[in-house]
Amino acid sequence: MLTIILTLLVSLLVAFIATQNATLVTLHLGATTFSDIPLFFVVLFSILVGTLVAGVVNLINLIKSNLTIFGQKGALKKSYQTVGELQQRVSQLEGENATLKDQINQVSPEAKT
């Protein structure tokens, strides 16, 4: 329902602009001249070109950000692997520490730990 209402409003706006800007203009593009073009078509073409350029710029920014995020994910995965390895090493060292404390207690039971 909202789409129908918005479509109706946009079409009314376009119809109003078309009737207000129906004067004929001459368009010069370099050496080429286009004569008797309604001003409405010039405005509409400008809007379409602007929308296309904005879409291309937005697409380029989207690709850049996705590549950056992809690179960050790789670095994050590598960091997680490093953390896992360090946790294993800490566990191993804690086990060695406990073994050494047991050995010290067996050699001299009166030594305080």
Residues 4-55 have pLDDT tens digits of 999 999 989 888 877 777 788 998 988 999 999 888 788 788 989 999 999 9
Q: Distance between CA 41 and CA 31 in Å, rounded? A: 20
pLDDT at 110: 67
19 membership: H or E segment, kind and range? helix 2-20
Model confidence at 88, pLDDT cuts 50, 70, 90, reads very high
Q: Report yes or no: 23 and 42 within 8 Å, Cβ to Cβ.
A: no
Q: Report yes or no: 22 and 40 within 8 Å, Cβ to Cβ.
A: yes
The pLDDT > 90 percentage for the chain reads 42
pLDDT at 20: 78
pLDDT at 58: 95
Q: Report yes or no: 37 and 24 within 8 Å, Cβ to Cβ.
A: yes
**Domain map of the chain by residue range?**
13-107
Number of C-alpha atoms within 13 angstroms, CB side, residue 19? 5
- What mean pLDDT, rounded, does the chain reach? 87
Hey, what are 53's tokens? 């350029």
pLDDT at 73: 82
pLDDT at 99: 92
Q: Distance between CA 25 and CA 40 in Å, rounded? A: 10
Hey, what are 61's tokens? 């920014």
The structure's pTM equals 0.52
